[in-house]
Structure 1
């Protein structure tokens, strides 16, 4: 158990970029579609604040999602996320491309997903994370499972883990004085 924790801390400490799924990770996974066919998503403000904290520390943030949604683009724009891949059915290839674009080895990229489509991305990432409501097969393939559900602070919990492992809390706290 102690070795597993040390390995997790080591992986988190090396994180220079993070790739996030949307449905089930940044949201609770439910799809809200109104009578006009417009899709609405609910994002958690703490996840957004955590993303901004990482960015201020120089950690790149990317969204890799299997769906297309104007709400995702708006949220990414509002958070200053420059790397957004929509309608992605090959997430393993997408994280490899992100690795090349950022000139960062995969071992320095954390990824968070919640379903089978995310598995190729999670398997390639240096740190693979998921949410507690993910299927057991996904949880078994990940290094870490958030104590908080998707869309309810799961991403922030991962970010806090990364900041702790990197020893960046003094910098973060100084930025919030």
Structure 2
């Protein structure tokens, strides 16, 4: 199936966190408090998805209050943390939100993401994803995780689906 045809079917965009929404580094202070950095453009692009009617989700293998805070801030309704078996969680998400594979775009970077990347209607990864992941995807971003990769993926979806000119009208005034 052509890439543009796949993109036209997408209604929901789902993200891995470490290595995609963040740079993959986990930083702790002396008290064990975890820190992560997120790119502001990724967050803004997620808001743009919502503005034109897309749904968003996160499926991450780790559990982090920082991720819960970021998801709440961005109004990401589908948040699944501690997902060691991401495919089982993906299937749960599909059932819970009455979705089919063809409606879901997923971006990941590591071995744990491969089963979901194989199922999702549109699969993407960051350029420094492992080779086994890069072989499974439709799109490899130019930006690295935590450096705008999610935003780049979102822009591609919005452009190919024809939403970008409508979004940009607001900013060209």
In structure 2, the residue matched to 1:97 is: 92
CA contact (8 A) 1:19 1:95 kept: no
In structure 1, the residue matched to 2:47 is: 52
TM-score normalized with structure 1 length: 0.93
**Cα distance in 2 between the residues matched to 1:65 and 1:84:** 8
In structure 1, the residue matched to 2:160 is: 165
Counterpart check, 1:40 vs 2:35: yes
Q: Secondary structure in 1 aligned to 2:102?
A: helix
In structure 2, the residue matched to 1:3 is: none
**Cα distance in 2 between the residues matched to 1:170 and 1:88:** 36
In structure 1, the residue matched to 2:136 is: 141
Counterpart check, 1:18 vs 2:13: yes
Per-residue Cα deviation, 1:81-105 (whole angstroms, up to 9, x for no partner)? 1110000011112222222222221
TM-score normalized with structure 2 length: 0.95
- Unaligned regions of 5+ residues in structure 1, if any? 1-5
In structure 2, the residue matched to 1:72 is: 67
How far 1:40 moved relative to its partner? Answer: 0.3
Give the RMSD, CA atoms, in angstroms: 1.2
Runs of 4+ in structure 1 deviating by more than 6 angstroms, as ranges, are none
Counterpart check, 1:128 vs 2:134: no
**Cα distance in 1 between the residues matched to 2:55 and 2:135:** 26
Match of 1:62 among 52, 57, 63: 57
How far 1:175 moved relative to its partner? Answer: 4.1
How many residue pairs match? The answer is 172
Q: Secondary structure in 1 aligned to 2:2?
A: helix
Q: Secondary structure in 1 aligned to 2:143?
A: coil
